[in-house]
């Protein structure tokens, strides 16, 4: 794999380390970290700092049912059926394979228009996450953002007004970014994308379809 150019922000890494991100964002962050030595090393530093802070913190009384409540949350949290390792030649890293129960050939794609397909992954509330397949040379409709969108490239590449994003790169978009991502020629672009608010499509047709595709 070529050197990863676009990385997670410190805020996302700290949120992941602290357990403050929604599950959909956690999945994208964990998948990127499994591909990126730089972000994996940065996460280790934040974990170490967090450990030191906890050691210096004053103890607090816990509710009598704290253990039972924690165990209930663990029991109620959906778990992937099989946390499979990435095989030789596979596309999906282990964190994602657990949600798909396999690799790219196990994805149940649903067409959403313009040649683009998606598979929405089941996660808890707070944000949504989906796999996207954008055919080579195809543009995603021009759109802005009402919140944060994390887009991790797993295969191929796309370009927009900001830069080029290839396998392992992650684009962190917010309300300031309006763009039209275009998949490069030669290979379909497979992305893992999480959003915590609906996108703002510019065209009429994408806006009409938005309620049905849930993005």
Residue range 153-162, pLDDT digits in tens: 999 999 998 9
Mean pLDDT of 184-198: 94
Which pTM was predicted? 0.80
Least Cα distance to 47 among 26, 16, 72 occurs for 16
In the chain, % of residues over pLDDT 70:
81
User: For position 142, what pLDDT does the model report?
Assistant: 78
Could you tell me the domains of the chain? 104-213 (2.60.120.10)
175, pLDDT greater than 50: yes
d(CA 8, CA 27): 13
Residue 210: per-residue pLDDT: 55
The pLDDT of residue 213: 66
pLDDT at residue number 155: 97
Tell me the backbone φ, ψ of residue 67, rounded to 5 degrees.
Answer: -65, -45
pLDDT of residue 156: 97
- How many other CB atoms are there within 10 angstroms of residue 155's CB atom? 15
Neighbours of 91 (CB within 10 A): 17
**What is the Cα–Cα distance from 46 to 82, expressed in whole angstroms?**
29
pLDDT score of 2: 63
Q: Tell me, what's the pLDDT at 9?
A: 97
- Residue-wise pLDDT for 77-117, tens only, equals 655 454 455 566 789 999 999 999 999 999 999 998 889 99
Of residues 134, 95, 98, the one with CA closest to residue 118: 134
Residue 18 to residues 66, 120, 207, Cα–Cα distance (Å): 19, 26, 36
State the pLDDT at residue 85: 56
Residue 111 phi/psi, 5° resolution?
Answer: -70, 140
Cβ(130)–Cβ(140) below 8 Å: no
Rounded Cα distance, 175 and 190, in Å: 24
Cβ(213)–Cβ(112) under 8 Å? yes
Share the mean pLDDT of the chain.
Answer: 86
Residue 83: its pLDDT value, please? 47
| Spatial distance between the Cα atoms of 103 and 89, rounded to a whole number of angstroms | 10
pLDDT at residue 52 is higher than 50: no
Kindly state the percentage of the chain with pLDDT values over 90: 58
How much is the pLDDT for 72?
A: 85
In 3D space, the residue among 155, 152, 156, 160 whose CA is nearest the CA of residue 195 turns out to be: 152
pLDDT at residue 171 greater than cutoff 80: yes
């Amino acid at each position: 794999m070529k050197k990863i150019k676009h990385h997670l922000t410190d805020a996302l890494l700290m949120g992941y380390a602290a357990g403050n991100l929604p599950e959909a964002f956690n999945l994208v962050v964990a998948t990127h970290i499994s591909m990126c030595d730089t972000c994996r090393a940065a996460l280790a530093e934040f974990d170490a700092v967090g450990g030191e802070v906890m050691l210096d913190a004053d103890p607090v009384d816990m509710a009598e049912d704290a253990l039972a409540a924690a165990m209930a949350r663990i029991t109620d949290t959906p778990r992937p059926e099989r946390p499979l390792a990435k095989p030789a030649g596979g596309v999906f890293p282990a964190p994602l394979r657990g949600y798909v129960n396999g690799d790219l050939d196990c994805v149940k794609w649903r067409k959403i228009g313009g040649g683009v397909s998606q598979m929405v992954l089941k996660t808890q509330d707070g944000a949504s996450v989906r796999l996207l397949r954008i055919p080579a040379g195809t543009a995603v409709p021009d759109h802005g953002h009402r919140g944060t969108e994390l887009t991790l490239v797993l295969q191929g590449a796309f370009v927009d007004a900001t830069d080029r994003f290839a396998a392992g790169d992650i684009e962190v978009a917010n309300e300031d970014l309006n763009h039209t991502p275009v998949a490069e020629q030669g290979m379909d672009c497979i992305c893992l994308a999480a959003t915590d608010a609906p996108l703002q499509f510019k065209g009429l047709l994408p806006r009409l379809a938005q309620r049905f595709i849930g993005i």
